[in-house]
Amino acid sequence: MLKPERMQQVSIIVAKDQLPNLLGYAGSKRLFHLTEIEDDSIPEGAKRYEALELQAKSSTIKSRLTTLTTALNVSEATFENLHAPVNSIESLTRFLDDETGKLEHSVRELEGAEGKLQTEKERASELSRFLSGLENVGVSLDAIAGRGFLTSLVGEASIETVPSLQKELDQITHGDLIFAITNTSEDTQTFLALFPTAFQDNAKQATTALGAKIGPPWTGLPSDPKKAKEAIDLQLANLDKESKNLEEKRVKLAKEYGPRIKALATLSEILEARTKALSGSSTTEATILLQAWIPKRKQGEITQEISKVSGGLANVFVEETKSHVNHSTEESTQAKEADPPTFGIPSYSETNPTPFMILTFPLIYGLMFGDIGEGILFLAFGFFLLYLRRKKVKVFEIGQIFVNGAELIIMLGIGATIFGFVFGDIFGFEARSVLGINPIFSPTAGAFPTSASVVPSTANLIIYMIFILFFGVAHLLSGLAISAYNKIRSKEYRHALLGPISWAWFYAAFVAAAVIVVQANFKFSVLLKNPLVVASIFIPMALMGYGEGGLHVMEAFIGAGSNTLSYLRIWALNLADFAVKFAFFTSFGIVGAIFGNVLVMILEGLIVFVQTLRLHWVEWFGKFYEGTGHPFAPYQEPMSWIVPN
């Protein structure tokens, strides 16, 4: 998982009719990282494969099948065993297009019937509510319209158009009009108009002319509102029965077509994968040329199997290029989550920093944030997030970030808890008084006396500061050691000597000189009495200048001081962590202690995490890590049963 694997670039020439067999084999093995052929690498007489049209069709078919899956709520259906022409991309495209069209026809008919029924139900409901109002005030339809029969007009128009429409209908019907707004949305209003049947045609023409959408009219209503409402309610009951029948039909269609839709959806994924593979290839009239990276250790085996599955109509040629690198093969890219973000993954010549960070990340976090109580809460929170992830519980978007990083939170909790015992700190209180556990070393011991008569002591703070500085030196030297190892492993002996080895030599001498100067009360003249130390500084600088250039020397010289002092943030944040909790407790008592701990866990916990990340990314990674590797993205197909034996 953590060790990169050496890859070999190959070109594969295969007969067109054997391409599906080759891709089926590649999809099942998941060992082929397909790449696009560069224009200058296309052989004479060949041209780039024009796959845009196929890709567009593939994408459209997949989208149509997704719509069908959603429309019929197909989820747990089994796969139907289809006899699909998987050995021809063009034939598979036509097959999927035809089969999807047949299913769409049935679903469209169902959705059309449901849409029509829903419209009728809405109109009937609106008219029923209107008639209820007439019944409550005792007004008959005859009294409203002055006729023995009425026509209803239900429609939808923009909010700006409705007043003009009402005025137009009022003129057409000579005032024999009931006009009501039944629903208002952001841009449109739904209206109900009742008027004598004699004005029906003119009313429809006027309504259509003003851009309104109208439905079929209601005619033959009894003049008694009560009886008219009963007729409408009966119609609503019938519509509800029809709605249930359509829902049963939908369930039946889902049961009948579900297995076919699932199979077609899977075939569409195969088609999509194959068309994408073709988009980076070149072609002649009879052959296809593909380029891919494969594991070098399996090159011979893969070559033989390609020839076998293609009936001897495929050849593999090794490209004379530098080995490509990935992180995993059969396990695909499961290790990606462990790779340092932003910097990319290690190349073959680089050491993966993840194993080191598993140790150093919680270590540095704990040095800044050591607290038994808060560490245990972090552990509990981390295990809870891990439980949510394993149970696949859906959480909100930001919460999902924490769920994905459950293991990291557990690691931070371990670091905080361990150093909480070292420092003897539990929620800002002394572990000695709460748990009866004596600290191994408390950086803040004596620095925050509870009585004004006690003189503060900074002795432990100074000791801790010195320890942190030397910890930073060790961390930086480990980065340079890894860099030297990387170059030696790549047989870049000259770069190893004139680069990281000379840099480490200079840095160690620089630190030794700094210690001597500090011990002499910052008298720099003391270095003149130690010519060996001075020589140990300038000799590696000269070597670096000769091998890597003046800018590299400048970087090493400036970084020697700035990068080391940067680790003092560990000391400062450890001090701030205790000081905030101490201030809240002494000012507001137990309530302040609770609030202070909550504030520290949320705000300072995040700040400490960012600073820990910074010390790794800026100070440490800068010494050895580039992350120029390429992630392994194997060609894969969703089903293995289509792969030829």
Summarised one tens digit per residue, pLDDT across range 72-110 is 888 776 778 888 888 888 888 999 999 999 988 888 888
pLDDT-derived band of residue 1, with 50, 70 and 90 as boundaries? very low
Residue 150 lies in a domain: yes
Residue 71 lies in a domain: yes
As a whole-number percent, the residues of the chain with pLDDT over 70 amount to: 89
Residue 200 lies in a domain: yes
Structure confidence at residue 54 (pLDDT): 86
Structure confidence at residue 52 (pLDDT): 86
Backbone angles phi, psi at 640, to 5 degrees: -90, -15
Residue in the block written with tokens 């891990």:
386
Residue 545 lies in a domain: no
Among 245, 277, 308, identify where a domain stops: 245
Structure confidence at residue 336 (pLDDT): 39
- Residue 241 and residue 127 share a domain: yes
Q: Is 290 helix (H, G, I), strand (E, B) or coil?
A: strand
pLDDT in tens, 128-187: 777 777 677 666 665 554 444 466 677 778 888 888 888 888 888 888 887 877 667 777
Averaged confidence pLDDT in the chain: 84
Among 296, 326, 356, identify where a domain stops: 326
Domain total in the chain: 2
Q: Does the pLDDT at position 317 exceed 80?
A: yes
- Residue 210 and residue 230 share a domain: yes
- Residue 64 and residue 88 share a domain: yes
Q: Does the pLDDT at position 641 exceed 70?
A: no
- Residue 280 and residue 171 share a domain: no
Residue 292 contacts residue 29 (beta carbons within 8 Å): no
- Residue 236 and residue 128 share a domain: yes
pLDDT-derived band of residue 502, with 50, 70 and 90 as boundaries? very high
pLDDT in tens, 608-628: 999 999 999 999 998 988 888
Going from the C-alpha of 237 to that of each of 120, 124, 133, 240, 244, the distances in angstroms are: 12, 10, 20, 5, 11
pLDDT in tens, 15-71: 988 888 898 899 888 889 998 888 877 887 888 888 888 889 999 999 998 888 888
pLDDT in tens, 214-250: 655 555 667 677 777 788 888 888 888 988 988 888 8
- Residue 120 and residue 9 share a domain: no
- Residue 186 and residue 147 share a domain: yes
Tell me the DSSP string of 322-382: PPPEES-STTTTGGGGGSPSSS----TTS--SHHHHHHHHHHHHHHHH--HHHHHHHHHHH
Which of 153-157, 584-588, 635-639 has the least mean pLDDT? Answer: 153-157
Residue 201 lies in a domain: yes
- Residue 288 and residue 256 share a domain: yes
Residue 407 lies in a domain: no
Highest-confidence range of 199-203, 287-291, 564-568, by mean pLDDT?
564-568
Structure confidence at residue 134 (pLDDT): 66
Going from the C-alpha of 574 to that of each of 133, 376, 425, 443, 456, the distances in angstroms are: 74, 18, 11, 8, 17
Range of the domain at 143: 114-245
- Residue 286 and residue 260 share a domain: yes
- Residue 225 and residue 172 share a domain: yes
Residue 297 contacts residue 3 (beta carbons within 8 Å): no
Residue 370 lies in a domain: no
Q: In whole angstroms, what is the distance from residue 360 CA to residue 358 CA?
A: 6
Residue 31 lies in a domain: yes
Q: Which amino acid is residue 151, in one-letter code?
A: T
Among 228, 245, 262, identify where a domain stops: 245
User: Dihedral of CA 522/526/530/535: which sign?
Assistant: positive
Name the token pair of 541: 């600088």
pLDDT in tens, 191-203: 778 777 778 788 8
- Residue 51 and residue 91 share a domain: yes
Going from the C-alpha of 517 to that of each of 507, 508, 521, 522, 523, the distances in angstroms are: 15, 14, 7, 5, 6
pLDDT in tens, 390-447: 988 888 888 888 898 999 999 999 999 999 999 999 988 888 888 888 999 999 888 7
- Residue 232 and residue 122 share a domain: yes
Residues in a beta bridge with 295: 7
CATH number at residue 234: 3.30.70.120
What 8-state DSSP symbol labels residue 11? E
Residue 576 contacts residue 632 (beta carbons within 8 Å): no
**Residue among 294, 319, 282 at smallest CA distance from 14:** 282
pLDDT top residue among 304 and 639 = 304
